[in-house]
Amino acid sequence: MVTIKSKREIEYIRESCKIVAMAQEAIKEAIKPGISTYELNEIAEKVIYKHNAIPSCKNFPSGIKGIPPFPAGVCISVNDEVIHGIPSKKVILKEGDIVSTDLCAYKNGFHGDATRTHIVGNESSVSNNVKKLVEVTKQSFFEGLKYARPGFRIGDISHAIGEYIESNGFYVVKEFQGHGIGADMHEEPGIPNFGKEGKGIRLEPGMTLAIEPMVNMGTEEIEVLDDGWTIVTADGSLAAHYENTILITEKEPEILTIM
């Protein structure tokens, strides 16, 4: 069931989202060649705990028998890792890597959620096509955001995202999608990054949504690593991910996870 949030609930979500934005900003400032993904996770978790919140992803159950809960507060995915990369002291970032950081914070009974993809080091160290991948992934979110208004439907957002990605020569990850967010990290409705206009539920003020395009460079096909969490591109090509939590209002949508 899709929930319409009260004014008080929206304020709680807004506070959690502010913490997410601060944690993402701390990661952005820290990313450089030579830092480990473990260290980035520690930096983000410190920000979250400092503001009396909890990292939502930490100890999140996998839902797969034999696969332990997610061990960190941030999903950190490097290069061909699409989503759910596990931070590690062994993964040291180098010049020209691209790294996606997906994190959620939980406070006062409500979650906030955002993802960013960064180019490590000097952007001149990567090809124009890599820079385009990161830029298109981010812009596809804003293409979808144009339809995040009362009267439009979820399918209008999905269609706009998918059309923009594919028109730029990249591939939509179809097995995973955005979602509603609030008291639960993943709520209804699901928000695919592709689809037909005019389909799905109609948007209403008070809905809070996490819209998150996941984009591959070489193919839409993905695989799951043996850790049961990390999703990679099937052909080893690069992937990018961008996400914000938004609020549907009477007029323009409000992005809650941008400082």
- Specify the CATH number for 7-255; select among 3.90.230.10, 3.40.980.10, 3.30.460.10, 3.40.1400.10: 3.90.230.10
Scanning the structure block, which residue is given the tokens 């970032």?
A: 93
In the chain, beta strands by DSSP E: 54-55, 74-78, 81-83, 98-107, 110-119, 171-172, 178-180, 187-191, 208-211, 214-216, 222-224, 231-233, 239-241, 244-247, 254-255
The answer to whether 23 touches 40, Cβ cutoff 8 Å, is: no
C-alpha closest to that of 256 among 161, 181, 149? 181
Residue 139: predicted pLDDT: 99
Dmax over Cα atoms in the chain, in whole Å? 48
Report field, pTM of the whole predicted structure over 0.95: yes
pLDDT for 248: 98
Collapsed DSSP state (helix, strand, coil) of residue 103: strand
What is residue 34's predicted lDDT score, i.e. its pLDDT?
A: 98
Quote the pLDDT of residue 87: 98
- DSSP string for residues in 46-94: HHHHHTT-EETTTT---SSTTPPPP-SSEEEEETTEEE-PPP-TT-B--
How far out from the chain centre does Cα 63 lie? 20
> Over its length of 259 residues, how does the chain's per-residue pLDDT go in tens digits?
899 999 999 999 999 999 999 999 999 999 999 999 999 999 999 999 999 999 999 999 998 899 999 999 999 999 999 999 999 999 999 999 999 999 999 999 999 999 999 999 999 999 999 999 999 999 999 999 999 999 999 999 999 999 999 999 999 999 999 999 999 999 999 999 999 999 999 999 999 999 999 999 999 999 999 999 999 999 999 999 999 999 999 999 999 999 8
